[in-house]
């Protein structure tokens, strides 16, 4: 049987749902799927809590327009307890900014953060909030970013 005849036979078997043509393809794709899932599992690796905690202690850097490179540390669950002691949203904002900046600069005090000019504090809070994922921003169906409206 030449190649053309074999191709014609395979086409007829495929059209009629013939077993020989389909079984080879099913096995081939099953093996590909198994290899893909195995590679995916190997890449994902095991969740390592200790490594995650260690990486959360590392000082990170972000460029803030008009201010330059700002060093900070990420907030942890222990910091959330500290933030819970704040009475107003403004205090929580200042405290979160202080806690993140203090991790990179141990000489920084809460009073120093309170003395920052408003425009500088706003830039820092916006940049660090984006870095931490607090200001992910919801995109509307129109493609525009959602704006917050004051509640009355």
Is the Cβ–Cβ distance between 128 and 99 less than 8 Å? no
- Write the pLDDT tens digit of every residue in 12-55: 655 555 555 555 677 788 888 888 888 887 777 777 788 888 88
d(CA 49, CA 54): 9
| Phi (first) and psi of residue 7, to 5 degrees | -65, -45
Let me know whether 83 and 114 are in one domain: yes
- Residue range 1-13: average pLDDT? 65
Return the structure tokens found at 147: 């704006």
Let me know whether 64 and 37 are in one domain: no
* 70 in a structural domain: yes
Let me know whether 26 and 85 are in one domain: no
Let me know whether 28 and 91 are in one domain: no
* 142 in a structural domain: no
- Residue range 75-100: average pLDDT? 91
* 30 in a structural domain: yes
Give me the domain span that covers residue 116: 59-132
Q: Which of 69, 119, 65, 129 is nearest to 97 (CA)?
A: 129
3-state secondary structure of 69: strand
* 147 in a structural domain: no
Let me know whether 75 and 16 are in one domain: no
Let me know whether 112 and 86 are in one domain: yes
Q: Cβ–Cβ contacts within 10 Å for residue 5, how many? A: 9
Let me know whether 64 and 33 are in one domain: no
In the DSSP assignment, the letter for residue 146 is P
- Write the pLDDT tens digit of every residue in 97-115: 999 999 999 999 999 999 9
């Amino acid at each position: 049987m030449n190649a053309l005849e074999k191709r014609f036979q395979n086409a007829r078997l495929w059209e009629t749902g013939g077993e020989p043509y389909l079984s080879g393809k099913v096995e081939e794709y099953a093996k590909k799927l198994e290899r893909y899932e195995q590679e995916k599992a190997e890449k994902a690796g095991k969740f390592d809590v200790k490594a995650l905690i260690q990486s959360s202690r590392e000082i990170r850097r972000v460029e803030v327009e008009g201010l330059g490179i700002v060093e900070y540390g990420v907030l942890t669950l222990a910091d959330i307890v500290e933030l819970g002691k704040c009475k107003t949203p403004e205090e929580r904002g200042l405290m979160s900014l202080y806690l993140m900046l203090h991790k990179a600069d141990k000489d920084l005090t809460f009073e120093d953060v309170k003395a920052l000019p408003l425009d500088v504090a706003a830039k820092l809070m916006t940049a660090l909030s984006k870095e931490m994922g607090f200001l992910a921003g919801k995109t509307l169906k129109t493609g525009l970013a959602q704006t917050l409206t004051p509640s009355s």
